[in-house]
Amino acid sequence: MIDKKRIPKELLPLLEEKLQGRSDEINFPPPAFDAMKGEFVDFDVEKEIFTNRFPVLSEHLNPYGYMQGGIISAAIDNTIGPLSLLVSSPNFTRSMEVKYGKVIPPSLGYIYVTARFVEKKKRQLFFEAVVANSDGEKLASAKSTHWILD
């Protein structure tokens, strides 16, 4: 179910078009996005770039006191996933490679994940993402391949 109250007005027509009448079958934003307290920041329709921000929560820290790698990956997936629905018909993550560059302490407050659609080849979609702090310093990066369902 699309939460129309939380989706920016300019994205609704595009999202509904791409979902091809399946808007009752797909949760947007997904429950995992809500559990991570994600927030929509920006979407550039022409450049096909999507940015979200996620707080660095104490329940998401590893034993060393930094954001756990799986949570960072989840933030990336929760940004690439919505972008994938805006650039294509329904699809799913086939693979994702994450490179961690710097630790993410709670003192950062938030991380910003910017995902970019790279290309489509037959039924595959390719994306790249960067995780950064509020100053734009790169903390991690990822490449993801998605498979189109139809």
Structure tokens at 133: 């702090």
What is the structure's pLDDT at 17?
75
Read off the CATH number of the domain in which 34 is found: 3.10.129.10
Please, which pLDDT band fits residue 90 given cuts at 50, 70 and 90? confident
Split into its structural domains, the chain has a count of 1
Q: Is the pLDDT of residue 128 over 70?
A: yes
35 residue type, one letter: A
Query: Distance (Å, rounded) from C-alpha 71 to C-alpha 78?
Result: 10
Is the Cα dihedral 13, 29, 75, 41 positive or negative? positive
Please determine, for residue 68, whether its predicted confidence score (pLDDT) is greater than 90.
yes
Q: Could you tell me if residue 6 is inside a domain?
A: no
pLDDT grade, residue 6 (50/70/90)? low
| Predicted TM-score (pTM) of this structure | 0.88
Cα(29)–Cα(134) distance, integer angstroms: 23
| 98, two tokens | 């994450």
Residue in the structure block whose two tokens are 């910003």: 112
| Domain assignment of residue 107, yes or no | yes
What is the extent of the structural domain holding 65? 12-148
| pLDDT of 4 | 64
Whether residue 63 is contained in a domain is answered as yes
